[in-house]
Structure 1
Amino acid sequence: MKKLYSLLLVMLPFWGFSQDLIQTDDQEVKITPILHGSLVLDYKDLTIYVDPYGGAERFQSQNPADLVLITDIHGDHHNQETLDGLDLSNTVIVAPQAVAEKLPAEKYKSIIVLGNGDVENILGSRIEAIPMYNLPETEDSRHPKGRGNGYIVELGGKSFYFSGDTEDIPEMRALENIDVAFVCMNLPFTMDVDQAASAVSEFQPTVVYPYHYRGTNGLSDVEKFKNLVGEKTPGVEVRLRNWYPEN
């Protein structure tokens, strides 16, 4: 049975966002949404940036990154302009091979390449690379299976899942014991809110944040997502945050 824990919401201004504190076995993890699919995690002396995007100025109030996770090659995930504006000389980059090939290695402490299914202990945190891809699998897919990674990061006994750009794939539905999930939902690039709600209701994280929800027709209906999840699995807590401060 999944462990229960308290989730405290702390209202601190940062680009119009609040910050959430997730209580772990020994200390809180601070979550700061940045933009779209980008966020910052702080745990003890470890700071993790996920898919830094939107310009380095958005990270000025954050601790320097010890670890950067990059999910895919597209510009809202591997954003070289944002990376170049940050001092990452003491930072470990974790990325799939397709991203690592594009990175100027001399700018970073090291680059660790993970493929789908790989697991590494990096800076004291267990990190697992999870498939992310579009359905059906076709040669012209925006996100073919095996190119990009979702990630599961374990901090203080809690598991944090970052979907990356994906649909409601079997690998997502089969996840177990996820404490906090960040799940995308934007057409035509990933999936719609119905697919996302269906998948979340199957793997049942303790807390889920819809993120990466801006598509070609604007922002997805995350209130609908919350209602769908609540109807199917009321034990899953849906946290809505403003990932688009300019809107």
Structure 2
Amino acid sequence: MKNFLTLLFIAFSISVHAQDMIKTDDGEVKITPILHGTVALDYKDLTIFVDPYGGAEVFSGQNIPDLVLITDIHGDHHNQETLDGLDLSQTVIVAPKEVADKLPAAKYKSIIILGNGDVENILGTRIEAIPMYNLPETDDSRHPKGRGNGYIVELGGKSFYFSGDTEDIPEMRALEGIDVAFVCMNLPYTMDVDQAASAVSEFKPTIVYPYHYRGTEGLSDVEKFKTLVNASAPGVEVRLKNWYPN
């Protein structure tokens, strides 16, 4: 009975996390929305988790990650309980210094520290750390510039951008050549849907996923975000997924 319930839970998890396939110059990247700002990517024999959060059980049915990218120190990004529940003994962790300082290094294969602007080739994958921060820049900002990272990950000749917790900063608006973007939108922590749509309409990724859209007032209006982007940048494909299955 226990085995049956385990299989049923895994099947439910897979069905909840509707997957997308992104064609690249060399194979496909499977994208699995997990929860809030958490994403799983599979490309050939490489698996990447971004900001694992929500408990190890939400990763049922997923491969053991080769890479984990962590954007910031807050608990919905660096969630030690979730990390501790996963088998990460052979995993490379990529994180900003303030996160790396909090990680129990012996639990992972290695920890690579990236700061804003740093670029590394890790496990054959180019990873660039991008600024993420609140506007205006103030001493009491929830997300000061330089502490956390957004990331650009290149897989199969395609670039995947993960915004982290940010507003429509100049560095985001100046991005070029982004194929797939994951863009946050939740007040009061990041930006509203109007700011997000304005930024996306400026840097024009091929595909954009609104994610990380739960704020103090509930879920942001991602349908409005889609309408705004469709009107101002019709060449951008907006894909809406269920990041809050519970």
Structure 1 and Structure 2 fold alike (TM over 0.5): yes
User: Is 1:185 paired with 2:156?
Assistant: no
Once the two structures are superposed, residues 34-90 of structure 1 have per-residue CA deviations (whole angstroms, 9 ceiling, x without a partner) of 000001000000000000000001112100000000000000000000000001000
The number of aligned residues is 235
Aligned mates of 1:14, 1:76 — CA distance in 2: 21
Alignment check: 8 A CA contact 1:150 1:164 kept: yes
In the TM superposition, what are the counterparts of 1:1-247 in structure 2 within 5 Å?
A: 14=14, 16-246=16-246
Return 5+ residue gaps in structure 2 as ranges: 1-11
**4+ long deviations beyond 6 Å:** none
Once the two structures are superposed, residues 134-184 of structure 1 have per-residue CA deviations (whole angstroms, 9 ceiling, x without a partner) of 000000000000000000000000000000000000000000000000000
Aligned mates of 1:69, 1:13 — CA distance in 2: 22
SS across alignment from 2:103 = coil
The answer for the alignment partner of 1:9 in structure 2 is none
Alignment check: 8 A CA contact 1:29 1:43 kept: yes
SS across alignment from 2:58 = helix
Alignment check: 8 A CA contact 1:15 1:58 kept: no
Aligned mates of 1:14, 1:219 — CA distance in 2: 23
Aligned mates of 2:191, 2:13 — CA distance in 1: 31
Give the AA of the match of 1:138.
Answer: T
Alignment check: 8 A CA contact 2:13 2:58 kept: no
Deviation at 1:200, TM superposition (A): 0.0
SS across alignment from 2:150 = strand
Alignment check: 8 A CA contact 1:72 1:96 kept: yes
Alignment check: 8 A CA contact 2:13 2:61 kept: no
Deviation at 1:17, TM superposition (A): 2.4
Aligned mates of 1:156, 1:104 — CA distance in 2: 32
SS across alignment from 1:176 = coil
Give the AA of the match of 2:167.
Answer: E
| Higher relative helix content | 2
Deviation at 1:15, TM superposition (A): 5.5
SS across alignment from 2:111 = strand
The RMSD of aligned alpha carbons is 0.9
Deviation at 1:13, TM superposition (A): 6.2
Aligned mates of 1:102, 1:15 — CA distance in 2: 34
Alignment check: 8 A CA contact 1:197 1:228 kept: yes
Q: Percent sequence identity over matched residues?
A: 83
Alignment check: 8 A CA contact 2:197 2:229 kept: yes
Give the AA of the match of 1:93.
Answer: I
SS across alignment from 2:64 = coil
Alignment check: 8 A CA contact 1:22 1:28 kept: yes
Give the AA of the match of 1:159.
Answer: S
Alignment check: 8 A CA contact 2:13 2:60 kept: no
Deviation at 1:104, TM superposition (A): 0.1
Aligned mates of 1:213, 1:42 — CA distance in 2: 23
Alignment check: 8 A CA contact 2:172 2:203 kept: yes
Alignment check: 8 A CA contact 2:160 2:180 kept: yes
TM-score for both structures, normalised by structure 1: 0.94
